[in-house]
Amino acid sequence: MTATAPAPEVLVDAPAGTPSGLLDAFWDYDDALLSNDVARLDDAFARGDDTIRGDGTTTVVGWEAISRFRAARTDLPKRRVTAVHVRVLADTVAVVVADVASGTGSLGLQTQVWQRDSDRWRVVVAHVTAPEKPLDSATWRVVGAPLVPATADDGPLAGETVAVKDLFAVRGQVIGGGVPEYADAGEPQADHAPAVDALLAAGAAVTGISRTDQLAYSISGQNSRTGTPRNAVDADRIPGGSSSGSASATARGWTSIGLGTDTAGSIRVPSAYQGLWGLRTTHGLVSTTGVLPLAQSFDTVGWMTRDPDLLVRVTDAVVLAGARAGIVTTARSETRSDPAAVSTARAFVTAPALTALAVPSSAVGTDRAAAALDAAREPLPGDLGAWFAAFRTVQAHEAWQNHGDWITAHPGALGADVAGRFADAARVTDADAEAARAVLDTARAVVRDWIGDRVLVLPTVADRAPGLGADAATVDAHRAATLRLTSLASFAGLPAVAVPIGRSTGAPWGSVCLVGAAGTDRALVRTARALA
Amino acid sequence: MTATAPAPEVLVDAPAGTPSGLLDAFWDYDDALLSNDVARLDDAFARGDDTIRGDGTTTVVGWEAISRFRAARTDLPKRRVTAVHVRVLADTVAVVVADVASGTGSLGLQTQVWQRDSDRWRVVVAHVTAPEKPLDSATWRVVGAPLVPATADDGPLAGETVAVKDLFAVRGQVIGGGVPEYADAGEPQADHAPAVDALLAAGAAVTGISRTDQLAYSISGQNSRTGTPRNAVDADRIPGGSSSGSASATARGWTSIGLGTDTAGSIRVPSAYQGLWGLRTTHGLVSTTGVLPLAQSFDTVGWMTRDPDLLVRVTDAVVLAGARAGIVTTARSETRSDPAAVSTARAFVTAPALTALAVPSSAVGTDRAAAALDAAREPLPGDLGAWFAAFRTVQAHEAWQNHGDWITAHPGALGADVAGRFADAARVTDADAEAARAVLDTARAVVRDWIGDRVLVLPTVADRAPGLGADAATVDAHRAATLRLTSLASFAGLPAVAVPIGRSTGAPWGSVCLVGAAGTDRALVRTARALA
């Protein structure tokens, strides 16, 4: 144990007779915290299943779980202790309450309940309130109260709040695209994107502009420049992206609606990782005007909620607003405002070859849902590997067409992972892209014909979210399998809903995905809701 | 005791043999919290000087102090318990850790250490982490990471962050003026106010737009529509205004610079209440273009910091930027960029009649500072009561000219206190204002002549901040005495610095004010810094 003396200006409020070993243990623990000395921190906590560590967003119970949580942390505390209050409650029980301050003087608090075992004092309960910040900058670029008020008081979304992914135009704000240099060079937008307008007109207010993966070209939710929004369900796992900030803000209860985009899974993946309901709309159904593109052949607007009823209400509001504005092309029944005119699906299909892409613990949820829906088990009518390769080729080609010039002019603006992906994209030739488009034209027709008026049931993702500290090989393998699953709706241009079918705490984890016919988005979310 | 059973969905993680009275006491306490039943809460806490209640921003020690803190609170917790973890550590000692969730699902944590005394279990330590919010909407209207980046990387304020009072134009943002209807009807501003531009050009970034009293016509910091920013020094006292949000954000360590305005004390009062250094600039020195006016004869731009060196650096940056832009008229030495050209004051004066307006505990700090500076004790050369009455008349007349039409068109938009002040202002006739202006023309000349090249030392405010729950008569008496003190620099158009001379915790409380000659702002902040 390395006992560290407090700085002289620390107020120590300890009664006479405070056991000497207690304060030594406290200062040693504090020193280990600041240096993220995991071994010493582990030793400072009482072994056993009863030990508790909580910070308001995550309560971890049991020594082993606390050790795992700590090992996965990437954000070191940056604060100093300014006052220590000690209360000795029994021979072997004491409480230490420590006031802490960040470098700028913002304040936090740490309480530890200590118990003396045979050889030393150890923490049995730790409660941490980190020094406050004006905003969680890993989740938000800008936030307001509200940032943009609703334009109607009494619409179907009155009282709801929206996190807008940093790809959408919001009047007066720049579009940041997940890259600080991009935001800094941007001009304030003159108009809201139509999707934002539709939500405002339906009575929802915009709370803020939420973080995205860099130029939306990732599904991890990790942004090397702006940070990683916290996964609200599993604080030591990645949040999923690229609609990461909208997903986290909604899962954490800061907003009721997360507005995002989905090119290759960017709504569905974070929804699955954070227990949300999420809709990727039919390609072309909702205007992408005012939305920074990634790959126009697949880019769609979508939204996430904690509640399936709200998912239905948002879908109704945006699709009907789009229909009124003439920017929606869809099945006739979908544009009627009478919800009774929208009929849910009666027939379902599932493909064992898709389900097999998921790990067993994830596949089981899909199998159960498929069985409950009496889904027909059918082989996939084509070569998903070839289709996926063609999808990646076209996505990469369009991504480079959209952003290559800017990326070339701004070396170092992107993190290694996204920069590498764009570097690969730069090597896709026009001829490669043309050949891949031909493959996808066929694939789209085959998949649409196969699903028909039915609803396809498949795993949303291949596995639960990788841990924050997972090695690259694990993450890449997971990513490759997940993208094969999500690509199907993407290249077919079909609507897809992520349906949470479990909770990480206690309940089995999982998310199942429903893919419907083009233009049946309002029906699809109702079909999904019936699974709640 | 009213034992309240937990809702069935609450996870109760309690060991066999948990004393039955403990959980009863916990649920009773939780019920009392939700209903703000102060008597029951008082009874739940152990009597004595050792009891602790902390929430990260305020740690209150002792049963009586906790009771007072609680009685002053106006914000009721709105959350439910979702899980309870009980750990029994000795016969009479237990810990309860409770996960809580707001109505939208955002999460918080409460830890209580309970001790059994002769008749029941009572709390000896309570640690509360309230459910997280995307922003503190009482302090901020909008906040970003940053909201506006610096326009220079290497200026004298590089790395500094600014809270901009919601009266200043920020490009792309509306001006809110502390009134939601005003913000909602506003158009995004095309350009930054010159004062904002100067800070950005010096390398500071804008973190957010901070709350103000309604139309800045108050010094309390309490806004009936948007809430009361927390006083960072005394959580159960008012923050001071009208630059309330900028002061709180800076005092809480969220920004390093609070940009505000000062008409009748709106920089100096919150600085005094929250232990900040604050400068009201010479009238006319810093452009008020792009700033919502209150009373143009007295409106000035100013700034607050936690650190006197930064106060000097900000003052240099803004005044020199203004001089370059030709919008500053000041002493020649002040516009030279060489700091050595700026000489600090050599002679000081103090007026016992001014010091006597403060309560003794506040006056003592002024007397000490005046003695240390060897200030000449001189009578005030005129009738402060008559001057103050004229000042209030002209301020009211101009305030109504500026805002009367809008207020008339928006009944109910203002809280009772500010609405009442404007209603009085509406009754000021042009003739009243003209007569008052004549009084002030003389007063200005007399005061400027009296101070000359010296620096006047006086109390910044009459007393420490009133408690949040103080009765109206107390607040009004305090306000009247404080405004007499602050009005002097206002009607004389002189620069004034609030100098913190104590801290509420342990050290004696206090703020002393230095008033200098017109245009000597850079010298004045250096004179003030020497008191640190």
Q: Hey, what are A297's tokens?
A: 């052949």
Report the pLDDT value the prediction gives residue B2, as an integer from 0 to 100.
40
Same domain? For A47 and A152 the reply is no
- Cβ–Cβ gap A253/B101 under 8 Å: yes
Beta strands in A105-170 (DSSP E): 107-116, 121-129, 140-148, 161-165
**Mean pLDDT, range A181-192, rounded to an integer:** 93
CA A328/CA A314 separation, integer angstroms: 15
Q: Hey, what are B518's tokens?
A: 């017109």
Minimal C-alpha gap between A187 and chain B (Å): 9
Q: Residue B467, SS3?
A: strand
Residues 248-277 of B with CB under 8 A from A: 249, 251-256
Cβ contacts of B174 on chain A, cutoff 8 Å: 172
Beta-carbon contacts of residue A425 (< 8 Å; ≥ 6 apart):
A396, A397, A399, A400, A404
pLDDT, one tens digit per residue, over A423-447 is 999 999 999 999 999 999 999 999 9
Cβ contacts of B58 on chain A, cutoff 8 Å: 107
For residue A290, pLDDT beyond 50 = yes
Q: Is residue A4 part of a domain?
A: no
Q: Is residue A161 part of a domain?
A: yes
Residue segments in chain B with a per-residue pLDDT below the cut of 50: 1-4, 504-508
**What CATH number is associated with residue B293?**
3.90.1300.10
Minimal C-alpha gap between B208 and chain A (Å): 9
Report the pLDDT value the prediction gives residue B510, as an integer from 0 to 100.
83
Same domain? For A230 and A315 the reply is yes
Same domain? For B165 and B225 the reply is yes
Residue of A106, A140, A246, A310 to mutate when probing chain B, most B C-beta within 10 A? A106
Minimal C-alpha gap between B426 and chain A (Å): 31
CA angle B508, B512, B517 (to 5 degrees): 170
Residues 387-446 of A with CB under 8 A from B: none
CA B195/CA B188 separation, integer angstroms: 18
Cβ contacts of B204 on chain A, cutoff 8 Å: none
Report the pLDDT value the prediction gives residue A7, as an integer from 0 to 100.
60
Q: Is residue A6 part of a domain?
A: no
What is the rounded (10 degree) CA torsion for A185, A187, A189, A195? -20
Q: Is residue B1 part of a domain?
A: no
- Cβ–Cβ gap B52/A97 under 8 Å: yes
Cβ contacts of B111 on chain A, cutoff 8 Å: 54, 111, 125, 127
- Cβ–Cβ gap B59/A249 under 8 Å: no
Q: Of the candidates B373, B369, B303, B362, which has an alpha carbon nearest to the alpha carbon of residue B504?
A: B362
Same domain? For B200 and B73 the reply is no
Report the pLDDT value the prediction gives residue A69, as an integer from 0 to 100.
86
Q: Of the candidates A240, A213, A175, which has an alpha carbon nearest to the alpha carbon of residue A419?
A: A213
- Cβ–Cβ gap A109/B59 under 8 Å: yes
Report the pLDDT value the prediction gives residue B241, as an integer from 0 to 100.
96
CA A348/CA A370 separation, integer angstroms: 8
The whole domain housing A168 covers: 140-529
Other beta carbons less than 10 A from residue A268's beta carbon: 33
B250, B270 Cβ separation under 8 angstroms: no
**What CATH number is associated with residue B89?**
3.10.450.50
- Cβ–Cβ gap B111/A54 under 8 Å: yes
Same domain? For B363 and B332 the reply is yes
For residue A518, pLDDT beyond 80 = yes
pLDDT band with cut points at 50, 70 and 90 for residue A474: confident
CA A428/CA A424 separation, integer angstroms: 7
Q: What is the ipTM of this complex?
A: 0.91
Q: Is residue A134 part of a domain?
A: no
Considering only CA atoms, give the Rg of chain A.
25
DSSP per position, B99-148: EEE-TT--EEEEEEEEEE-SSSEEEEEEEEEPPP-SS-TTTEEEEEEEEE
pLDDT band with cut points at 50, 70 and 90 for residue A507: very low
Q: Residue B179, SS3?
A: coil
Task: Pick A61's closest partner by Cβ from B54, B85, B249.
Answer: B85
The secondary structure element, H or E, covering residue B258 is strand B257-262
Same domain? For A399 and A516 the reply is yes
Cβ contacts of A183 on chain B, cutoff 8 Å: 149
Cβ contacts of B15 on chain A, cutoff 8 Å: 50
**Mean pLDDT, range A347-352, rounded to an integer:** 97
Q: What are the backbone angles phi and psi of residue B379, rounded to the nearest 5°?
A: -70, 155
Minimal C-alpha gap between A349 and chain B (Å): 34
- Cβ–Cβ gap B149/A184 under 8 Å: yes
Same domain? For B122 and B154 the reply is no
Task: Pick B87's closest partner by Cβ from A107, A124, A208.
Answer: A124
Q: Of the candidates B351, B347, B358, which has an alpha carbon nearest to the alpha carbon of residue B377?
A: B351
Q: Residue B177, SS3?
A: coil
Beta-carbon contacts of residue A246 (< 8 Å; ≥ 6 apart):
A163, A164, A165, A210, A255, A258, A259, A260, A270, A304
Report the pLDDT value the prediction gives residue A340, as an integer from 0 to 100.
63
pLDDT, one tens digit per residue, over A300-339 is 999 999 999 999 999 999 998 877 766 555 555 566 666 6
Report the pLDDT value the prediction gives residue A162, as an integer from 0 to 100.
98
Top pLDDT among A17 and B447 is at B447
Task: Pick A57's closest partner by Cβ from B132, B207, B252.
Answer: B132
Cβ contacts of B127 on chain A, cutoff 8 Å: 97, 109, 111, 127, 129
Report the pLDDT value the prediction gives residue A504, as an integer from 0 to 100.
38
For residue A70, pLDDT beyond 90 = no
Q: Is residue B4 part of a domain?
A: no
Q: Is residue A135 part of a domain?
A: no
Report the pLDDT value the prediction gives residue B323, as an integer from 0 to 100.
72
Same domain? For B118 and B193 the reply is no
* For B54, nearest residue in chain A (alpha carbons): A109
Active site residue B78: no
Same domain? For A177 and A118 the reply is no
Instruction: Find the distance separating the first CA and the last CA of chain B, reported in whole Å.
Output: 52
Task: Pick A108's closest partner by Cβ from B56, B111, B137.
Answer: B56
Same domain? For A334 and A421 the reply is yes
Report the pLDDT value the prediction gives residue A20, as an integer from 0 to 100.
82
Same domain? For A107 and A185 the reply is no
- Cβ–Cβ gap A125/B97 under 8 Å: yes
Q: Is A187 exposed, middle or buried (0-12, 13-18, 19+ CB in 10 A)?
A: exposed
Beta strands in B5-62 (DSSP E): 11-13, 52-54, 59-61
For residue A452, pLDDT beyond 80 = yes
Same domain? For A308 and A343 the reply is yes
Minimal C-alpha gap between B191 and chain A (Å): 11
Report the pLDDT value the prediction gives residue B418, as an integer from 0 to 100.
96
Residue of A113, A121, A179, A256 to mutate when probing chain B, most B C-beta within 10 A? A113
Q: Tell me how many domains chain A contains.
A: 2
Q: Is residue B404 part of a domain?
A: yes
Cβ contacts of A115 on chain B, cutoff 8 Å: 89
Measured N-to-C along each axis, helices B308-324 and B194-201 cross at an angle, to the nearest 10 degrees, of 110
Residue where a domain stops, chosen among A82, A99, A129: A129
A138, A228 Cβ separation under 8 angstroms: yes
- Cβ–Cβ gap B109/A56 under 8 Å: yes
Helix ranges restricted to H, B186-263: 194-201, 244-251
B127, A111 Cβ separation under 8 angstroms: yes
Does the beta carbon of A101 lie under 8 angstroms from any beta carbon of chain B? yes
Task: Spot the catalytic one: B220, B248, B266, B271.
Answer: B266
Residue of A110, A254, A277, A310 to mutate when probing chain B, most B C-beta within 10 A? A254
Report the pLDDT value the prediction gives residue B515, as an integer from 0 to 100.
98
Report the pLDDT value the prediction gives residue A118, as an integer from 0 to 100.
85
For residue A1, pLDDT beyond 50 = no
Residue where a domain stops, chosen among B97, B129, B161: B129
Minimal C-alpha gap between A57 and chain B (Å): 5
Residue where a domain stops, chosen among B129, B159, B184: B129
**Mean pLDDT, range A64-92, rounded to an integer:** 88
Inter-chain contacts counted by CB atoms under 8 A, chains A and B: 211
Mean pLDDT score of chain A: 92
CA A335/CA A408 separation, integer angstroms: 43
pTM, to two decimals = 0.93
Task: Spot the catalytic one: B220, B242, B504, B511.
Answer: B242
The residues of A carrying an active-site annotation are: 165, 242, 266
